Amino acid sequence: MPAMMGAVVMGYADRRSLRAGEEIAIKVSAEGVETYSAEVVRLIAPDVGPPPHAYPYRADPVASPVNGRHPARAQPLILGSLIDVPASDAFAGTAAFTISLRVLPTRLADEPRVLVSTLNAERSAGIALVLDTDGTLIVEAAGPAGPAAWRSNVRCPVGGWSALTVAIDPADGRVAATAIGLPGHRMDRAAMATGEGRLDAPIILEHGPLRLAAGWDVDGTPAAVFNGRIERPRWLPGWSDTSERLAFCQLAPDASPPRNAVADWDFAQAIDSERVIDVSGNGHHGVLHNMPARGVTGSLWDTSEIDWRANPAHYGAIHFHDDDLIDAGWENDFTVATGADWPSGCYAVRLSAGEAEFFVPFFVRPPAGQRNADAVFLVPTCTYSAYANLTVRVTGQWNELIHGRLTVLDGTDLLLLSHPGLGKSTYDTHTDGSIVLYSSLDRPVTNFRPKGRIYKFCQDLLIIAWADAAGFELDMLTDEDLHREGADALAGYRTVVTGSHPEYWTTPMLDALEGWLRDGGRMMYLGGNGFFWRTAYHPSRPSAVEVRRTGMERIWAGGAGEQVFSTVPEPGGTWARVGRPPQTICGVGFITQGFDASAPYYRRSDADDPRAAFILDGVPDQVIGDFGILMGGAAGYEIDRYDRGLGSPDHALVLASSGGHSNLFDLMVGSIVDILPTTDPDAPDPLRADMVFFETEGGGAVFSVGSIAWSGSLAWNGGKNPVARITANVLTRFNDPAPFPMP
Amino acid sequence: MTETPPSNWRDIVTEFRARPFGQHSAGLQTLLDRFRAEPIEGKPFLYMIEQHRRWALAHFSTTRPLTWTVDRDTVFDRIEDAEWHVFRRRWRDRYGFDPEEA
d(CA A393, CA A107): 23
The set of residues, in sequence order, having a beta carbon less than 8 Å from that of A562 and lying 6+ positions away, is: A295, A296, A297, A306, A308, A548
Higher pLDDT, A673 or B36: B36
A-B interface: how many C-beta pairs under 8 angstroms? 95
A48, A396, A418 ranked by CB distance to B52: nearest: A48
Chain B residues near residue A4 by CB distance under 8 angstroms: none
A417 close to B (CB below 8 A): yes
* Confidence check: pLDDT of A681 > 80: no
pLDDT at A1: 36
Task: Measure the CA–CA gap between A384 and A442, rounded to whole angstroms.
Answer: 12
What interface predicted TM-score (ipTM) does this complex get?
A: 0.98
Under the banding of pLDDT at 50, 70 and 90, the label for residue A3 is very low
A5 falls in which pLDDT band (50, 70, 90)?
A: low
pLDDT tens by residue, A389-399 = 999 999 999 99
- The residue-averaged pLDDT of A97-114 equals 96
Report d(CA A48, CA A711) in Å as an integer.
12
Contact A397 B38 (CB under 8 A): yes
Distance from CA of A440 to the nearest CA of B (A): 24
Mean pLDDT over residues A526-542, rounded?
96
Whether B46 and A407 lie within 8 Å, measured CB to CB: yes
What's the helix, strand, coil split of chain A in %, to 5? 15, 35, 50
Contact A17, A362 (CB under 8 A): yes
| Per-residue model confidence as pLDDT tens digits over A247-296 | 999 999 999 988 999 999 999 999 999 999 999 999 999 999 999 999 99
Band (pLDDT 50/70/90 cuts) for residue A353 is very high
Phi and psi at residue A722, to the nearest 5°: -65, -35
Q: What is the mean pLDDT of residues A574-580?
A: 93
Mutate to test the interface with B, among A55, A394, A400 (most CBs of B within 10 A): A400
Q: What is the mean pLDDT of residues A378-402?
A: 96
Q: Residue A155 above 70 pLDDT?
A: yes
Give pLDDT, residue A555.
65
pLDDT in tens, A126-150: 999 999 999 999 999 999 999 999 9
Q: Residue A201: which pLDDT band, with cuts at 50, 70 and 90?
A: confident
Q: Is B70 on the interface with A (CB under 8 A)?
A: yes
Task: Calculate how close chain A gets to B8, using CA atoms only, in Å.
Answer: 20
Q: For residues A686, A511, A554 and A157, what is the CA-based torsion angle, rounded to 10 degrees? A: 180
Domain ranges of chain B: 9-95
- Mean residue pLDDT of chain A comes to 95
Strand, helix or coil for residue A491: coil
Percent of chain A with pLDDT over 90: 90
A65 to chain B, minimum CA–CA distance in Å? Answer: 29
pLDDT digit string, tens, across residues B50-71 = 999 999 999 999 999 999 999 9
Average pLDDT over residues A529-546: 96
Give yes or no for A596 touching B (CB within 8 A): yes
Poorest-pLDDT segment among A91-105, A180-194, B61-75: A180-194
Per-chain mean pLDDT for chain B: 95
For residue A2, name the pLDDT band (cuts at 50, 70, 90).
Answer: very low
- A600–B contact, CB cutoff 8 A: no
**For residue A667, pLDDT beyond 90:** no
Partner-chain residue, chosen from B22, B53, B55, that has the shortest CB–CB distance to A596: B22
What does the pLDDT read at residue A349?
98
Kindly list the structural domains of chain A, giving each domain's residue range(s) and its CATH number in brackets, ordered by start.
8-77+329-365 (2.60.40.10), 82-320 (2.60.120.200), 375-734 (no CATH)
With a pLDDT cut of 70, the percent of chain A lying above it is: 99
Would the pLDDT of A168 be above 80? yes
pLDDT at B36 over 60: yes
Q: Is the pLDDT score of B102 beyond 70? A: no
Rounded distance, CA A481 to CA A383, Å?
A: 14
What is the per-residue pLDDT for A334? 98
CB-based contact, A94 to chain B, within 8 Å:
no
* Residues found in chain A: 743
This prediction has a pTM of 0.97
Q: Please write the tens of the pLDDT for every residue from A57-78.
A: 999 999 999 999 999 999 999 9
